Amino acid sequence: MILCPRFQLFEIEDQSWCPRWLILFIQTYLTTLWNRRIPRVLRRSAAEVAAAVIIDNLPDFSTYTFVDLCAGAGGPIPTIEKVLNEECSTNSYIDRQSEEGLRDQNHLGPIKFILADLIPCQKGWEKLALQENIICVPKEVDVTQRGGVDVTTLEGVDGITLAGALDNRRECRMFNISFHHFDDDSARNVLANAMESTQAFIIFEFLQRDLTTLWFCCVTTVSILPLLHTLLVYWGSPVHLLFTLIPIAPAALAIDGFMSMLRTRTPEEIDRLIKQPNPLSGKWHFQHGSARILWPWHLHWYIGFPLIIHILQLIHAFLPVVFGLHWDPSRSISPKRVVGYYADWTVYKGFAPALLDAESFTHINYAFADVNPFNGTVNFFDRYAAIQKAFPDDDESRAGNNAYGCVKQLFLLKKKYRHLKIMLSIGGWTLSGNITHPASTDQGRKEFAASAVKILQDLGFDGIDVDWEYPIEGTQPNDMVQLLAEIRSALDANSKAHAAGKHFELTVASPAGPEKYTKMNLREMDQYVDWWNLMTYDYSGSWDELARHQANLYRSTCKPQTTAYDTASAVKYYESQGVSPSKIVLGMPLYARRFNNTSGLGRVFKNDGPPDAFVVPYKDLPVRGGNVHNLQQPVASYLYDPATKSLLSYDTPSIARKKARYILQEGLGGAMFWEASGDRTDEDSLVRIVVDALGGSSKLDRKENTLDYPASSYLNVREQFN
């Protein structure tokens, strides 16, 4: 029974005037309390009880990296690390993982733990550093800072960033008897950041505002235990006499213990913090409880993780009972697509199709084909680059009507990588105006569809991508629906005649701005579309008034002027129009938008020159350093150089990982990149980072492409370029 309301009273340890030695005393005492066993009295330490709570209540716990940003002197982490990794190595756990179709723990390696604090406890962490799976951050980290904390940008003792500790893993934030220190505003922000940027959080508290806690406080603070601790900790120093005879440190510990009891929150109070206001609260599952350590000592816990994980867990539990079946929950998550646009003009810059990362992509969209604005005939904008340019291994003396150029190179690529599908993308920003008139007439739509499908059959494409920017005026929304219907019909007819009924895919490059997507007939379009390539970038650029984020996931709550648009709102709107999340492929830029002569993010700027002059390929940008900023609340990053007064908005590896986790969390269909030549080829490749975060290439769409095009007008296409 709760004895009194919650009071946000001060604790001595939190005060700026509190000496470091006293903070160290309190933190080491609490760490001892967490990890100490007492033979025949305390069979399991509090930390072992906490580990059992994690094992029993956090689904698939072995796939997480656990992060404690209020670590004190280490708390329960050394014991929890040993217990969880020992559990993962037992035969029973390995067998259960295999039976349930969950991820291979041996593939992921041991579970890692990251410790940080506002006042790093270097002395208390000396022994922890000996455990190879515990990483300590020596610099100050404030978990309450605006925008949250991006763990991947933190550095360990060796100066190496911690991104590797999260590769292929989810992140779980831990608050080990620390959450009560936050006032309501800070606590609300800390939880919101945990829900936006991680996949789980856990709150552990020893105390609650009840009678058993009151008794526990008396036993652990107003007793001989703190006095014994002073003797053990300070035995080698004469000051221990001062601590024992005049018990300054134990007195401070006793005061803070009772203050902590009054500051702890009930589960219902935490619920209210989460839902006031937090748009993600409805998509998360929360559970709580308490576990007895030794009467009157209880461990109170509160755990949150995405609702989809909880639903899959329930389904997995009940299916065998109801149907006598065993079900692999990973099959409920559709394979992800990774789509890359290959721009024909990049071949003149030395980026040949053979340089594409074919193992990472599932689809390559060849951009762009043009449309005759009068009759609707589709043809290549750059015919030379597409089918005439000779590459080193081409034999142009070969007899017959043959295709060369980028199209041949892409065919050879998909012949080698049978999971790779090549799509013909029609339109684009520059050429979209040519679609308007043909799409408005029956004859124009028929010619558009027939000529596009003929190119598909002639040159070995696996589908068509329509990039009309944008059908939002007058009859254009309905024209787009009818155009898609005509293309779908033509694709199916071609498949029946020449491909034994194989499904050729039809996609749309679609806008992420509400002034556009709210005017489109998304619900009617969706029946013809296999998926939507959502262009969630170019939210800001040289045309804008302020230097803003160009591809942020959420609206900024602390600096709203820096986010004119946001991705999450676009995704939510598409879903409200009946579009399945699994059909939404999230766009990511492989370039930066540059803003010159500006004093910073959200400020005015002045760019002199054409818009293209202020686009910088990602491969030419730094991904870390003092001028690179990763913001966790809007999930966006930028570089600002105060010396040159230049700002660049782009996705860093840290932000790309967060977006991949968002794709998984929301059950989206995958990721799309504009455009492929902009990526790096080293370990900071955004495409490979996203693929790894999605679970690796084995989790992607591996449906085979088509190689047989018997009705092609090109001899070498019919012969599959043999």
Where residue 79 sits, what CATH number does that domain have?
Answer: 3.40.50.150
248 with 359, same domain? no
Going across the sheet that includes 591-595, the strands are: 615-617, 591-595, 646-649, 636-641, 628-631
What is the pLDDT, as a whole number, of residue 276? Answer: 73
397 with 289, same domain? no
Ranges of residues in the chain whose predicted pLDDT is under 70: 1, 39-40, 89-109, 164, 167, 213, 215-217, 219-247, 253, 277-279, 313-333
In a domain, 331, yes or no: no
In a domain, 324, yes or no: no
Contacts 24+ apart (CB under 8 A), 496-499: 497/711, 498/457, 498/709, 498/710, 498/711, 499/706, 499/708
427 with 557, same domain? yes
CATH of the domain at 660: 3.20.20.80
Q: Structural domain of residue 485, as residue ranges?
A: 339-716
How far is residue 442 from each of residues 326, 431, 438, 439, 474, measured CA to CA in Å?
A: 52, 21, 8, 8, 17
Instruction: Say what the pTM is.
Output: 0.63
- Final residue in a domain of this structure, among 274, 298, 313: 313
What is the pLDDT, as a whole number, of residue 317? Answer: 54
116 with 193, same domain? yes
Tokens of 657: 């990982």
What is the pLDDT, as a whole number, of residue 40? Answer: 65
- Final residue in a domain of this structure, among 278, 313, 348: 313
151 with 282, same domain? yes
Q: CB within 8 A of 491, min separation 6: which ones?
A: 453, 456, 463, 464, 504, 506
User: What residue spans of 143-287 are helical by DSSP H?
Assistant: 163-166, 184-197, 211-220, 224-233, 239-245, 248-263, 267-274
In a domain, 332, yes or no: no
What is the pLDDT, as a whole number, of residue 145? Answer: 86
| Total number of domains in the chain | 2
- Final residue in a domain of this structure, among 313, 348, 383: 313
290 with 437, same domain? no
What is the pLDDT, as a whole number, of residue 102? Answer: 46
229 with 347, same domain? no
Candidates 87, 171, 469, 505; catalytic one: 469
Residue 469 among the catalytic residues: yes
275 with 362, same domain? no
301 with 345, same domain? no
In a domain, 363, yes or no: yes
303 with 363, same domain? no
What crossing angle do the helices spanning 20-35 and 46-57 adopt, rounded to 10°? 70
In a domain, 487, yes or no: yes
467 with 509, same domain? yes
In a domain, 326, yes or no: no
C-beta neighbour count of 549 within 10 angstroms: 30
384 with 304, same domain? no
